[in-house]
Amino acid sequence: MVPFRSISIFTFGFLLLFRCSSSAAEQQQFAIDGKVLELDESNFEAAISTFDYMFVDFYAPWCGHCKRLSPELDKASANLAVLKQPIVIAKVDADKYSRLASKYEIDGFPTLKIFMHGVPTDYYGPRKADLLVRFLKKFVAPDVSVLNSDSAISEFIEEAGKNFPIFIGFGLNESVISHLAVKYKKSAWFSVAKDFSDTTMEFYDFDKVPALVTLHLSYNEQSIFYGPFEEKFLEDYIKQSLLPLVLPINQDTLKSLKDDKRKIVLTIVEDEDDERSKRLVKLLKAAASANRDLVFAFVGFKQWQDFAESFEVSKKIKLPKMIVWDGDVEYFSVIGSDSVEDEDQGSQITRFLKGYRDGSVIQKHIISDDYKAFRNSMFLIGALILVLVVILVAMMMQAVKEEPSREQVDHPGSSTSLSEAREALRSGDKEEKID
């Protein structure tokens, strides 16, 4: 008979061996080898807890955009794996693994997220391999980069690229912005310059320190903040500077408005590429500089007709048109300032903003596709009710002709039914106007 103690030692040894083998297999499964990981519901949580930084593509096998993205991720994965702080790229078939898709609120394909220490952040950046690598490097860069020379400043800006705003604190202690740099890391680059020349001051157009310079290289824009550097004022400036002065609206930039709570002064032009529109945008930039509590944006009817039509704009409407949008379903027209004439547009913009601030507005709701479908269905219901009323009246008239003796008795009741039918029709008319 084998002693119980021997069995216990054997069992313990077996379990220890099994655990070590499992751990080794898991480490091998999640090795950083420059290849894209294919994850599922059985190992996803383990993967995001294993790696500090993981970029995840939630895809569907039938999605054309996903198929085009796949080779770009393969290229980027090798470059991201060799970083000092490696970023692992993974893929999940969100069409198949619906529980993961539901948990991480996947409502389209591909949906891209970067998990930093297990916490997901939506990714809206470029998808070409080289730009993707540059974009993702920001997430593993220092919260605040310390720059000690003119050349270091140039190299930092070159490395940062054009996809995010860049904040450089000249003569500013890094402790002043470190907390906010962590808070807004996913949205901007942050740095402080300790040593720099007069030439650099002249180039970036500031004449005293400390100064916080903001660069939007994609839009060729720069702004300067001289303080006060208490956190409240500093954060207000940073939040207002995350977007360019005037944002061109398209499907990508629209996502950048998601976390901004300011109202949006939206100007709808015929064609955002023509010279008249470009001159108007310059005037809007001047207005935006003086009204930083609002976001200024523009969209071309030619470039995105469906979006423009949500604000009651059609080919028959005179453009440019200005409205104030809440970023959701409500917007405001300013009374007397529906369109912007060609002459003295700067004054017209000023009058529009004054009218909005004075409350001289008409509140409206955007016309979404769902609303259009609802409105069309109400037209059909109204038409059906009208047909029924006509048939009912015809039947009543026929009954009157055939039974004159019943007219005194039945007509009041018939009249009541007709009133009810008209009331139903009026109700249908009212519903057509419901937003």
Which of the residues are catalytic?
A: 63, 66
Distance CA 57, CA 62 (A): 14
Give the strand pairing for 53-59 and 37-39.
unpaired
Distance CA 296, CA 246 (A): 5
What tokens appear for 99 in the block? 């529980």
Distance CA 351, CA 91 (A): 52
Task: Give Cα 153 to chain centroid, integer Å.
Answer: 30
Give the strand pairing for 295-300 and 246-248.
parallel
Distance CA 147, CA 229 (A): 20
Q: Taking the CB of residue 202, how many other CB atoms lie within 10 A of it?
A: 10
Task: Give Cα 369 to chain centroid, integer Å.
Answer: 19
Residue 317, H or E segment:
none
What is the residue-wise DSSP string for 91-112? EEETTT-HHHHHHTT--SSSEE
In this structure, what DSSP letter does residue 249 have? P
**Strand, coil or helix: what is 361?**
strand
> Contacts from 118-121 at CB under 8 Å and sequence distance 24+?
118/48, 118/49, 120/56, 121/186
Partners of residue 37 on adjacent β-strands:
90
Distance CA 46, CA 423 (A): 62
Q: For residue 56, give the nearest of 123, 133, 117 by alpha carbon.
A: 123
Strands of the sheet containing 211-216, edge to edge, are 145-147, 189-193, 166-170, 211-216, 221-225
**Strand, coil or helix: what is 226?**
coil
What is the residue-wise DSSP string for 364-376? EE---HHHHHHHH
Amino acid at 93: D
Q: What is the dihedral of CA 82, 87, 93, 95, to 10 degrees?
A: -150
